[in-house]
Structure formats: structure tokens, C-alpha cells
A and B are shown apart, each in its own frame.
Chain A
Amino acid sequence: MATLGVFDTANLNGGQKLAIKYFSVALALFGAQVLFGMFAAFQYIAPDFLYEVLDFSVNRTVHVNALVVWLLYGFLGGVYWILEDEAGVPVVGLGLANLIFWILTLAVVIVVLVYILVQVGPADIKSIWLIMEGREYIEAPRWADIGIVVSVLVFFFNVAATFSKGKYTGIGGVLVLDLLALFGLYLAGMFYTPNVSVDQFWWWWVIHMWVEATWEVIVGCIMAYMLIQTLGVRRKIVETWLYIEVAMLFGSGILGLGHHYFWIGTPQYWLAIGGFFSALEPVPLVAMVVHAVFDSGVHKLKSNNHPALAWTIAQAAGNLFGAGVWGFMHTLPQINLYTHGTQWTTSHGHLAFYGAYATAVIAFFYLAAQKSRGNVWMSGGLVGDWKWKWALAFQWIGMLAMVMALLIAGYEQSQVERAMEGATWMGYFAGQSHPWFIQGMNWRMVGGWFFSLGYVLLVWDILTIGKRETRPSQVLAPAAH
């Protein structure tokens, strides 16, 4: 074991060394997401900013794509992190996994550079293959899609083969089946059709089934491991909860897909099916909160990694409010008719992606920071613990400010543009020029600055936490329940 407090990959197993690489790229892309989000937010206030240099469409595309990719990198890292511990054997095919990491990262860099430098192409299928698909969240050109599929097949092989060689835990079993679904679903987005209804129908298979089903289950798996690690919760408790969560997540989430099929040319029965099942989607999120809070209480918040536990609790709460409450608020078709495609959606999107997913990956960053420094002390009285606390505080203050500002703008937009003016061109600008909307955009910008500061603190903290500690990690006593 290397010196306490000093970063050394000798402290890590093979899968965890690879995870550190994924986490590093994830943290950098998180920064890109924040930066380009700030550009786009500022363009609402000063539309001439970077006009015809980096237009809103470019900034927004980089903003959301960086989000998707850094979260995926976080999940990949999270899975590689837990793999050897769970399966009890070294990762099978680790050399190939490392090679794929570099290829995938090179592909991501090329895709982003093309977004920024080339931006658009002629109305030709070649543009779809080489430049941009123009479909929100999965704008990456087709060549990159193929690269992603190959990469994830290797990833799936690593995970399945490692569990098969070692032992399948409950977490492992759920994870392997979920990854199979996750990557199978990506194929549903890889085709061109002139029919915009058919296009959006399958596009939602990818987006919804990732974000509101399979991603939730991945997070359920890695956060189950997190609770075992940071609190010492018994595996049987965690895994029983995981099955309950999977039943409820897929039971509500699969047909909850219907809430995207209200207004795209799909039949009317989706209004009833989508409304009903998506109204159930918050239920598993409540269960996850109960689970995390109950376990934390049973263990009297006695944790060997305070920042990771704090972000774990933030994840449970953020998931419930962002995905659950904010989603439910506008998921019924009677309301969604007016709110669909307004800043209301933006408000929900920000809190949901951040609350449900960003927080989970950040919790893993702290787990990685601890172990890579020789399993250093990260409980109460940690030297320099103000940084992680303020990073968390600034990010959440900034996020909540953005979310509330966008929600107010969304209410106004739904009322003025949609209900009163009927979403015409003039109605749109009537809504956008209302003082309440403009104030919303200004306050969102303020929230963005707070969040950016929280991001900088987070990076600084991840790079330095535990450096000046000399105590080894707190040993957790087995739980009494």
C-alpha cells in the first residue's frame, strides 16, 4: 500500500485504474457542459453574443451532448470501479477495455470538434453520416454511432465475462441484463427516415428508455454498491431493495414512454397510457429515498466517506424532486398540451439530469479519490473539508436558482405563448418578451455563475481531497439490522 494521502494507482485494482480514466474524462466533459451551457444561457440575454460564430444551436448541442457523454463515462467508470469487488475476479479482457477507452475518447473529441468547427452540412445523407444527425441528444453522426456500439459491446463483454468467471451477485445480475437493454436500445436510434413521426417514435425509445428506465437501474446498481461501501449496509437489504426498485422502475418506466407519444402523430390511447404510467414513475424514486435515508439513519450517518454519502443523499433527493416531482408536474396530457416544449421542460431537465445522475457520478468521484489516495480518512474532521461542502452548496444553490427561474419562465410561456396565443410565431415572441420571462433568463444566468463556481471548487477538491490527511479510513462496524 502506498503512502496515505498520495495519489497512486497501485492502490487500485485493474478495473478501478480504468475507471479513473473514465472519471477524468467525465469531469472534463462536465466542465465543457457547464461552459457551453453558460454561452447558451447568455445568448438568451445578449443574442448577438457569438452570433454566426458559435450560434445557440451549436452551444446547446455541445451542452447536452457533453452531458450525455460525461454521464455515460461516469457510469462506465462506476461499473468498472465495482466490477472486481462484486465478481471477485480481475476484469476479463482489461487490455481490450483500455484500448476501447482511448478509441472512444478520440471519437468523442472528433465529434465535438466537428460540432464546433464544421457545425452544419448540405441536405444529404452524407451529412448524417459524417457531421451531425440533428436529433436532440443523439446528434452524433452515424460513424460515431457505430463506434459507440462497438465500444459498448466490448464493455458488455467485460462485464458479463467477469461476472461469469467470478460470481454473479444480485447487483451483477441486474447490471448485466440492464446493460444489454441499454445498448440494444441505442440501435433503435440508428436509422434515417423522412417520416418525422416514425423518427421521433424510435428516437424516444432511445432517449426515454435510457433516461427514465435503464439509466435509473444502472444508478440503482452502483448506488447499491455505494451504500454497502460507505455505510456498510448488508448486501441482502440492498439487493432486495434493488429488485423492488427494478420492478417499479420498469413497471412504470417502460409504458411511461407513452408520455412522449402525446403529440407526435401517435394514436390517442397513448394519452391515457402515458399519463397513467408516467404518473407512477415517481413511486420508485420515493422508494429510493426511503432506502437511502433509512439506511443512513440505521447507521447513524456513520460513514467512511462523508462527501460520497452527502452526494448519495443529494442523489436520492435530487432524483425524487427533479425526475419525480418536476416530471409529474407536467406529465399529464391535460397540462402537457400547454407545457410541452417550453422552459418548463428545461426546468425539469436540469433538475432531473443533475439530481438523478450527475450527483451519482460525483459520489463515485469521491469514492475514487479516497481509494486512489490509499483509502485515506474522509469522515468527520477531514482536513480541508470546507471545499467539498462549499462545492456541494454552490452547485445546489446554483442549480435550484436555475430551476426555479426556468420554471417561472415556463409558467409564463405556457400561459402567454401557448394558452393565449396558440404557439404562433408572434405568440412565441409575445411569451419570450414578457418581463417575467426575461427576469427568469437573468436569474438563470445568476444561478449559472453559482453553479460554475461550484464546479471549479469540485474539481479543486477532487484533485486535492485527503492530500493532507494521515489517518486511514474509518472502519465500519457491521450493521445491527
Chain B
Amino acid sequence: MSQSQPVWWASESLWRKVAIWVTGGSLVALIFLTFDTMAYIKAGGINVPAYSIINKRVGYEFNEEHNRYEPVIGPDEPLFGKMLSEEEAKELVSKGKLNVQAKNCMGCHTLMGNGSYYAPDLTKSWLDPAWGSKEIREDQMVAFIMDPSDKLHNGLGRKMPRLGITEEEARATVAFLKWMSAINTMGFPHNFKAIDQSDPEPSASATVVETVDVMDTGGAADNAPAQQ
């Protein structure tokens, strides 16, 4: 190659302009998408339920139409037997979230697949069949979180440590986990076999609300966990 001026497509000034325009354009697109996404992920948004969802039964079932697993909201099933207002529910879930952060749960577990891989994913832990049955689940979870060291839920010699979690903190953590399980995570985790939550009475129903696929509608709506 010679020392002469390069051809136009290899010139410094062209690529400087390309770098600026590509970066600027991408940022504008990202900011637009961020505003749009907030409508989906705010509590009570299209994909993320209000905190008071913990008053309801939360399931996770395969949706034939969307060809993926989705949260299904059922009849009233208040956590620890107590119906909460939206504010009370938010306060409880928030305390649970603070506990999850202050105890560094992500140091071993994943939440929605993000975190560490030394212990199971917690996204749908509220629905895990390992808690036995839905009647004993809440107590099992609280007891486990408070002192996990001697419980059967550990495996391979890996024991969750005792983190000095109080009963109040443990109950709040369960509330957080129940709320998180109602987030529509686009089918993650796939093929999750949820705990049996059916009632003895055949009348109780769990419904998936009609949802619209965003890919067909140009972004107008998405799949919301149904609330009835």
C-alpha cells in the first residue's frame, strides 16, 4: 500500500461519521424501546402483575396458542390466609426483595435465570413440587428459609447456610417469590412441572385470558398473566 490518501470507503473521516451516526441511531432506538418496555414491566403492567396478585392462586401452564408456558391466575388464595391491599402487598413484597438482596441470594441462586449457579433457579420456586403439597407449602418454605441446614431440599451435600433470617423476613421472602412466579417470563423456564394446586371441588377454575401476540400486531400488546 502507498502513503497516498486512501480510497473514500477506507477514509478516517467517513468512518468517524459512521461511528457517530450508528451510535446515535442505536441510542435513540434504545430509548424509545425503553419507554415502551416500561409499560410491560411496571407492577400492574402488561407482563408484570400488581403486588396484590399474592392474594390469588398463581399457576404456570403450557399455553397451546403461544406454544409456551405462562402464568395463570386463579381464584382467591391469600398468602398466609390474609387478604392484603395493594399497598400492604407492596410493602410485604418489598421487604422480601430487600431480604433477597441483603442476604445475597443471587450469590448462589438465579432469579429469572440471572445470578449464580450453585443452587436452583428461584423464578418459579413458589410452584415447585418439592414443597410437597399446596397445603403445607407456605410453612415448608418459611421453615426452610429460616433454617435450611438440615432440610431434605438440599442436595449433593450442598446445604443452604443459616443466614439468620427472622420469621417476618422469611414470610416476606415467600411473598416476593409468589409475586415473582406470576411474572410472564416468555416461557422461561420451559417444561416446568408445577405443584398440583387443584381444588377438590371441580367448580374452581383457572383461566388463561385471551392474549395477543405482539409479533402479529406490531407491538400493540403482549401476553399478560390473566387476572380474574
Q: Which residues of A contact B (CB under 8 A)?
A: 40, 43-44, 47-48, 51-52, 55-58, 60-61, 119-125, 127-128, 131-136, 139, 170, 174, 192, 194-201, 236, 239-240, 243-244, 246-248, 250-251, 254-255, 257, 260-273, 337-338, 340-343, 345-346, 418-426, 428-429, 432-433, 481
Contact = CB atoms under 8 A, between A and B. Distances in A.
Given A48-B157, A56-B116, A341-B114, A195 B47 contact: no
Nearest to A64: B116
A194 B93 contact: yes
Contact of A136 (B114, B119, B213): B114
Contact of A265 (B121, B169, B172, B183): B183
Contacts of B163: 120
B147 to A, nearest CB: 12
B204 interface: no
B47 A267 contact: yes
B209 interface: no
A420 to B, nearest CB: 8
B136 interface: no
A380 to B, nearest CB: 27
13 contacts: A52-B162, A58-B107, A132-B102, A247-B15, A250-B19, A254-B26, A261-B37, A263-B112, A268-B223, A337-B187, A343-B117, A419-B190, A423-B123
B102 A57 contact: no
B41 A127 contact: no
A197 B123 CA distance: 11
B95 A123 contact: yes
B95 to A, nearest CB: 5
A262 B164 CA distance: 34
B106 interface: yes
Q: Is the interface of A mostly helix, strand, loop or mixed?
A: helix
The 8 closest A-B pairs by CB, nearest first: A57-B107, A134-B101, A123-B99, A341-B113, A422-B191, A423-B189, A194-B94, A263-B188
Given A194-B94, A196-B112, A201-B41, A263 B186 contact: yes
B16 interface: yes
A433 B157 CA distance: 11
B12 A243 contact: yes
B114 A200 contact: yes
B16 A243 contact: yes
A214 to B, nearest CB: 11
A254 B117 CA distance: 27
Contacts of B115: 136, 341
Contacts, number: 280
Assign chain B's interface to a size class: 35 or more
Contact of B104 (A44, A119, A244, A271): A119
Contact of A340 (B15, B113, B161): B113
Nearest to A125: B98
Given A423-B190, A433-B155, 6 more contacts: A56-B116, A201-B34, A263-B113, A265-B41, A273-B33, A419-B191
A345 B153 contact: no
A44, A131, A424 pick with most chain B CB within 10 angstroms: A424
Nearest to A201: B41
A432 B156 contact: yes
A48 B149 CA distance: 11
Most A C-beta atoms less than 10 A away, residue of B30, B117, B128, B166: B117
Given A56-B107, A264-B112, A197 B48 contact: yes
Contacts of B159: 47, 51
Contacts of B184: 265
A310 to B, nearest CB: 26
A341 B26 CA distance: 27
B16 to A, nearest CB: 5
A338 B30 CA distance: 26
A236 B3 CA distance: 10
Contact of A60 (B96, B116, B121, B192): B116
A56 B102 contact: no
B138 interface: no
A342 B118 CA distance: 10
Given A262-B188, A346-B117, A134 B102 contact: yes
